[in-house]
A and B are shown apart, each in its own frame.
Chain A
Amino acid sequence: MIKVENVKKRFGQEEILKGITTTFERGKTNLIIGQSGSGKSVMLKCLLGLFQPEEGRIYYEEQAIQDMNDDQQRELRENIGMLFQGGALFDSMTIEENVMFPLRMFTKQSKEEMLTRVNDVLARVNLQNENKKYPAEISGGMQKRVSIARAIVNRPKFLFCDEPNSGLDPKTATVIDNLIQEITHEFNITTVVVTHDMNSVMEIGEQINFLKNGLLVWKGTNDEIFRTDNKDVTDFVYSSDLFKKIREVQLGI
C-alpha cells in the first residue's frame, strides 16, 4: 500500500500539486487520471522519488520515503517495477538481456536461474521465442509487453505504469490493460497507472483518482465514475463523442 499525505510540488512560482492526499491499495489497479497538465506525471514522479515534494509525505508500507536512508531507498527501488510510456527498453540489449537486467543488477542468481525466470515472465506476457530479438525488431505492443516482463521479473511489490496504452491500437491496448490487471491480482502488488485513456478506466479502474489543476477532485471506481454528478469528472469522461452517446443512452435521451 502507498499512502500520500498532503503532497505539494512547485516548479518556480507555479504550484503543480496543491496538496494531494490519497491511498493506493495493494492488490488493486489504482488509476491516476485527468487532463494534460493536471499534475498526473508530476504525481507519479513524486511517488517514484524522482521529484522531491516541497510539502507532504509519501508512505510505502508505513515508512515515509522522506525518512529512508540511501540503503533503504535502494532497497525500495529494487521492489519497484516501472512501465514507461515508450517502453524504455535498452536499445543495445536483446529482449532476453532487457528482461534479465534487474536480475543481473540486484540478485546473485546463476545464469541458468536467471534464464529460467526470464523465460517464465516472457511466457507470462505471451512472448515466447522472441528472446534474441532487439527492441527495434518488434512492434510497439510487444515492446510494452517486454517492458512489463522487465518490470515484474524481480517480483516487485509496487508496479507503476505511465500511459501504458499510448501509441497502441485499441485491441493491443486492451491486451496490455488486462495484463496489468491480471499481474496485479496474481502477485498481489500495488499498481499505480497514470492514464487519460477512458478505455483503460473502464477496463481496469478499480480505484480511480481524478486530478484537476493539481488537486484530487474525485475518487471512486470505474462503476461509480459513470454515475457521479461531479462536473469536472463528467466534463472529462464525456468529452469524446463515443462516451457522449453512451451517456445519452444511459439517460434515455
Chain B
Amino acid sequence: MKYIRDIGSYFLMLKKVFGGFTKGSVLRELIFKEIDDLVISSLGIVAFISFFVGGVITIQTALNLTNPLIPKSLIAFATRQSIILEFAPTFMSIIMAGKVGSFITSSIGSMRVTEQIDALEVMGINPLNYLVFPKIVAMMFYPLVIALAMFLGIVGGYVAGVYGGFTNSTDFGIGLRDTFEPFHLIYAFLKTFVFAFIIATVPSWQGYYMKGGALEVGKASTNSFVWTSVLIILANYIITQLLLS
C-alpha cells in the first residue's frame, strides 16, 4: 500500500513541477547553476572511471581470447559494444545516481529540515518548480557526459590494448569499425535521456517529501540511491526489450 501511495505522490509531484512557473530570469540562472552542479562537476569522475574501466574491459577480453583462430580485432569490437551499449549509459548512470542523486536528495532534504522550502511556499513560489524543474532541464545535458564516457572508455581500451601488448593499432581500428550499427548509439542516448530524468526526479522526490532531521536526510539519500538504481535497471531492461529485441 505504501508503494502505491509513493508512486502516486511521485506523479503528483511531477505534475506540480511543470506548473506555477518561476520568473524566467531567475529560472534561467538556476538552470545554469544546476548544469554546473550536476553535469560539469561530474566530468572529472566520469572521465577517470571511463578511461580505466575501458582499459579493464579490453584487458579482460584479450585475456579470454586465447584461441589463435579468433581475430585480434574482436578485442576492440567487444570493448566498443560493451562501452556503448551498457557501460557508458547504464553503469555510469548508476554511479551518477550515487553522486548526483545523493547531492540532490541531501540538498533538498536539508532545505526541508531548515524550513527553506516553507519559506518559498509562504512567499507564493512553487517550490517544486523552483527546485526540481531546473534540475530536470540541466540533466537533459547528461547525454553529453555519456558521450564523453563512451569516447574515453574506448581511448582507455586502446591505450591498455595497444600499449599493454594485447593487440595493435590496426586490429583495434578494424575492430572498432566492424559491423558498427549507428542505431546502437541512438538506443544508448535514448535510454540515457530516460535515466537522466530518473536521476533528476527520484532523488528530488526523496528529498522533498522527507520528514525529520539530519539523520533522516542521510536515510533519504541512501533510499534515493537504492530506488534510482532499481529504476534505472528496470528502465534499462524495458528499453532494451523494446528497442533491441
Contacts and interface: CB of A to CB of B under 8 A. Distances in A.
B159 to A, nearest CB: 39
A88 B121 contact: no
Given A73-B124, A77-B122, A82-B122, A88 B114 contact: yes
Contact of A84 (B25, B110, B118): B118
A86 B125 contact: no
Interface residues of A, number: 22
Interface in A122-164: 160
Contacts of B22: 105
Contacts of B124: 73-74, 76-78, 80
B123 A84 contact: no
B21 to A, nearest CB: 12
B119 A84 contact: yes
B23 interface: yes
Nearest to B29: A104
B118 to A, nearest CB: 7
Interface in A179-228: none
Contacts of B7: none
A148 to B, nearest CB: 13
Contacts of A48: 122
B26 interface: yes
7 contacts: A50-B118, A76-B124, A88-B114, A88-B119, A105-B23, A105-B125, A106-B123
Interface of A: 48, 50, 73-74, 76-78, 80, 82, 84-86, 88-91, 101-102, 104-106, 160
Interface of B: 22-23, 25-26, 110-111, 114-116, 118-119, 121-125
